[in-house]
Amino acid sequence: MLGVGDDCALFSVGTGMQLATSMDLFIEGRHFFSDADAVAVGHKALAVNLSDLAAMGARPLACLLGLSLPSIDHHWLAGFSQGFHALAKAAACPLVGGDTTRSSDGIVISVTVMGEVAADLALRRSAAQPYDDIWITGTLGAPDIALRLLQDRLPANPALLKASRTALEMPLPPWQFAQSLAGVAHAALDISDGLSQDLGHILLASQCGAELDYVSLPIDPCLSGLDLALQQQAVLAGGDVYQLCFTASDQRRHDILQLAQQAGVSVTRVGRITPQVGLRVLDQHGQPIEHVFGGYDHFS
């Protein structure tokens, strides 16, 4: 599964391109449940890393996998490999090397991805400009609801779990659309810790603020019947989304909608960057929603 038969893997980076690289650890009991489907674990271990490449507008080139396992479970390994390789193939991000070893307790997965992006076109967190539109790919909220259900923090609800679980376990970052944003969008990042906290990173790095219109947010349909406070928490503070939040000039609205259509990705314009710092989420009356997400004051 791993070997390329030499001390290092070798590959080329395009002329004028920079190498973009990221590493994430993926730990049993922390990032996935011990009884999680092995196919989903393999998929997600790579997906969260592809999401980092997407957030830079980089094209995937190759990945490395480190697997530390307490024992050899061939059934688990076969499922893990299936999930990992299917996504690697879909994203044209071949596994070129890595390491496997025996751990004392618990599975530790380490994935490094490498991609390329034109030297001046990488989507940086610090590049948001006042009056930029703020866009989001995909939908928000479902992974957090699935996590709450699996952790018994919500009353059992098989139908809701069924509707939300795929978003948590099989995230599909928009790596292809993201490449087309390089040179079009200004700032970008992936929503891993929750929209309010992650957007906060852009605002801090870009020294500006933002207003989000709650009613325009792409709330996952499975959240429609839920209590409003819970819904707002899941949408604004829920993590594990692995979709993009990006900013772009309002001159680019048409381009962005066209690129999204070409890539088969849904995009939603959800607010705007402001010169004054702080993140404000406005309700349907234009009034700030202040009480639902913890990260608010932190970024004001």
Query: What is the C-alpha separation between 127 and 137, in angstroms, rounded?
Result: 19
In terms of Cα–Cα distance, which of 61, 51, 143 is closest to 97?
61
Query: What is the C-alpha separation between 136 and 260, in angstroms, rounded?
Result: 11
Cβ atoms of 244 and 174 within 8 Å: the answer is yes
Residue from 74, 75, 102, 291 that binds its own copies (CB under 8 A)? Answer: 102
Residue 81 interacting with its own copies (CB under 8 A) = no
Residue 120 interacting with its own copies (CB under 8 A) = no
Q: Which is nearer to its own copies, 31 or 186 (CB)?
A: 31
219 DSSP 8-state letter? B
Residue 151 interacting with its own copies (CB under 8 A) = no
Q: Which is nearer to its own copies, 35 or 227 (CB)?
A: 35
58 DSSP 8-state letter? P
C-alpha distances out from residue 162 to 41, 145, 165, 169, 229, Å: 17, 11, 6, 11, 22
Residue from 38, 46, 62, 235 that binds its own copies (CB under 8 A)? Answer: 62
Residue 283 interacting with its own copies (CB under 8 A) = no
**How is residue 43 written in tokens?**
């998929």
**How is residue 189 written in tokens?**
């990042």
Q: Which is nearer to its own copies, 132 or 211 (CB)?
A: 132
Residue 136 interacting with its own copies (CB under 8 A) = no
Residue 97 interacting with its own copies (CB under 8 A) = yes
**How is residue 180 written in tokens?**
């087309």
Residue from 189, 195, 281, 292 that binds its own copies (CB under 8 A)? Answer: 189
Binders of its own copies among residues 8 to 47 (CB under 8 A) are 8-13, 15, 18-25, 27-31
C-alpha distances out from residue 176 to 42, 112, 225, Å: 20, 19, 33
Residue 122 interacting with its own copies (CB under 8 A) = yes
CB of 291 to its own copies, least distance (A): 30
Q: What are phi and psi of 217, to 5 degrees?
A: -65, 140
Cβ atoms of 65 and 26 within 8 Å: the answer is no
Residue 56 interacting with its own copies (CB under 8 A) = yes
Residue from 40, 46, 47, 53 that binds its own copies (CB under 8 A)? Answer: 53
The H-or-E segment that residue 15 falls in is none
Q: Which is nearer to its own copies, 117 or 259 (CB)?
A: 117
Residue from 1, 89, 92, 100 that binds its own copies (CB under 8 A)? Answer: 100
CB of 100 to its own copies, least distance (A): 8
**Which residues make beta-bridge pairs with 116?**
19, 59
Binding site for its own copies (CB under 8 A): 5-13, 15, 18-25, 27-31, 51-53, 55-56, 58, 62, 64-68, 96-106, 108, 110, 112, 114-115, 117, 119, 122, 124-126, 189-190, 205
